[in-house]
A and B are shown apart, each in its own frame.
Chain A
Amino acid sequence: AQSVAQPEDQVNVAEGNPLTVKCTYSVSGNPYLFWYVQYPNRGLQFLLKYITGDNLVKGSYGFEAEFNKSQTSFHLKKPSALVSDSALYFCAVSLRDFGNEKLTFGTGTRLTIIP
Chain B
Amino acid sequence: NAGVTQTPKFRILKIGQSMTLQCTQDMNHNYMYWYRQDPGMGLKLIYYSVGAGITDKGEVPNGYNVSRSTTEDFPLRLELAAPSQTSVYFCASRPRLAGDNEQFFGPGTRLTVL
Q: Is the CB of A43 within 8 A of B105?
A: yes
Q: Is the CB of A102 within 8 A of B105?
A: no
The total number of A-B Cβ pairs within 8 Å is 54
CB under 8 Å from chain A, chain B span 25-39: 33
Q: Is the CB of A102 within 8 A of B100?
A: no
> Binary interface profile of A, 84-111, with partner B (CB < 8 Å = 1, else 0)?
0000001000101111011101111000
The CB with the most chain B CB atoms within 10 A, among A32, A42, A43, A103, is that of A43
> Binary interface profile of A, 29-40, with partner B (CB < 8 Å = 1, else 0)?
000101010000
Residue of A nearest to B48 (CB): A102
**Which residues on B sit within 8 Å (CB–CB) of A22?**
none
Q: Does B61 contact A (CB under 8 A)?
A: no
Q: Does B40 contact A (CB under 8 A)?
A: yes
**Which residues on A sit within 8 Å (CB–CB) of B58?**
102
Which of A11-19, A44-52, A61-69, A72-80 contacts the other chain? A44-52
Least CB distance from B25 to A in Å reads 12
Q: Is the CB of A103 within 8 A of B42?
A: no
In-complex Cβ contact of B43 among A32, A90, A97 (8 A):
A90
In-complex Cβ contact of B42 among A94, A96, A102, A108 (8 A):
A108
How far, in angstroms, from A106 to B104 measured CA to CA in the complex? 17
Least CB distance from A105 to B in Å reads 4
CB under 8 Å from chain A, chain B span 12-58: 33, 40-43, 45, 48, 50, 58
* 3 tightest Cβ-Cβ pairs between the two chains A and B: A101-B99, A43-B105, A46-B102
Which A residues lie at the B interface, using CB under 8 A?
Answer: 4, 9, 32, 34, 36, 41-46, 49, 51, 90, 94, 96-99, 101-103, 105-108
